[in-house]
Structure 1
């Protein structure tokens, strides 16, 4: 990880560390809003004053939400991977997208609209795993902490549950992240089965958790910040709508 950081800094200067920022923002606007929005809506529909969805139900809702989010965010995800991977390529092989919009236009014009959905199935699979291991596990950990410890529905509980959810999400999604990145950054079309066989021959079983530490460094704080903000947002919304008084 340190070697990659130094290489990118030497090749692209400080700005190179932020390659793909516009694509990353576009991805969050499409992928994250879709999966969080659908999940929260489904959960609200199944929650009553006397009962809440069971853990298997949370998993089912998170899976459906993640699948829809994976499809919605795939074009921006392809761009994000390509723009971040550009610095590691020789100059002749770089795509040099100016920003996310330029990337979408050029991909559609040069490779056809189907290129926007390259890797959509492993990406959707990853989105299902991510949403399930992140959202469903967060709600599950939060419920366990409140029911089996002295913690209440407060900031400490939210932090603890989100930290554990980030650990679970990183571990569960690591193999799919590796596959997704290699498919999307590839210059050739290669079937999923052939890709797995080739990777296994070269790297063995270790390929499944390649990059786990940098993934957790990114996903752990992201998961914590996301749920802390989400919980506070929901409290503010309920207070403004006077829902707690009903």
Structure 2
């Protein structure tokens, strides 16, 4: 099949390594967009003395400009170390396990393309398993991204990724590294299914059009399609996940969902939609392009 698999040609280890490389490269390229998305999702509108409602961050480009202006350009790559940790684990596992899970679900008797429902089920399972293992890296990444410009003399909460891991364990306990696991499983399972299954499906649809071949243009279009479906479906759980990991005042995912709905309305669950799509769309294009090329090298 012309999808992600090539399961007869590349081993699980090869797929894991190529997926981790592609995911890490995409993470580095798009982290500023992700940082803007997290700041927008965590933002709460403040009322001034005259009753006017203001927002510190406005839009994707405005948020990026504000962060760069107030904190310096490197602040846009806050959380890059745990972000790379996350992609090595999560990125490698979710794609590395995808083909074996599809084969397990459908069996070895299938000839031709995998049915969409089996693709979705396999991606849901691999996304859930991968994020259970990688949740601590996600937590630390968001904690570092969430910290904005501090008043003079106020120390930063964490000096870096390793300090964040150790501080969280020391101050909050080992289990705190899995804060927000419920919405994170929901978010990543859903987004993984939207990305991988839609990438396969969009790619197959494009290849059925006369004149299209399995080349970079096809990979770009399929990657954009995967990113769009992932954001549309996963944005609400992504907001809940970011808020729970960035703010420890919420008791549970349900508590976070209810409070957000009551105080800000349903539109709050699509906060940061454009930077989220900008990030996930470009992330998927870069990741799938890189993944396809690395796999070609491994097969070559």
TM-score bracket relative to the smaller structure: 0.7 to 0.9
Query: Which shifted more, 152-161 or 211-220?
Result: 152-161
* Residues 13, 156 of structure 1: alpha-carbon distance in 2 compared, 3 angstrom cutoff: closer
Q: Which residue of 1 aligns with 2:140?
A: 79
Q: Which residue of 2 aligns with 1:160?
A: 221
Q: Contact 1:122/1:179 (CA < 8 Å) preserved in 2?
A: yes
TM-score by structure 2 length? 0.73
* Residues 62, 91 of structure 1: alpha-carbon distance in 2 compared, 3 angstrom cutoff: farther
Deviation at 1:177, TM superposition (A): 1.1
Residue 164 (structure 2) pairs with residue 106 (structure 1): no
Deviation at 1:93, TM superposition (A): 8.2
Correspondence for 1:172 among 233, 237, 249 = 233
Deviation at 1:236, TM superposition (A): 2.5
Correspondence for 2:71 among 4, 9, 12 = 12
SS of alignment partner, residue 184 of structure 1: helix
Note the residue ranges of structure 1 that are not aligned, 5 or more in a row: 240-246
Equivalent positions of 1:180-199 (< 5 A) are: 180-199=241-260
* Residues 229, 10 of structure 1: alpha-carbon distance in 2 compared, 3 angstrom cutoff: closer
* Residues 49, 194 of structure 1: alpha-carbon distance in 2 compared, 3 angstrom cutoff: closer
Once residues 156 and 132 of structure 1 are traced to their aligned partners in structure 2, the CA distance between those partners, rounded to angstroms, is 22
Q: Which residue of 2 aligns with 1:143?
A: 204
Query: Which shifted more, 226-235 or 186-195?
Result: 186-195
Higher helix share: 1
Report how many aligned residue pairs link the two structures: 239
SS of alignment partner, residue 137 of structure 1: helix
Greater RCO structure (CA 8 Å; 6+ sep): 2
Query: Which shifted more, 19-28 or 74-83?
Result: 19-28
Q: Which residue of 1 aligns with 2:157?
A: 96
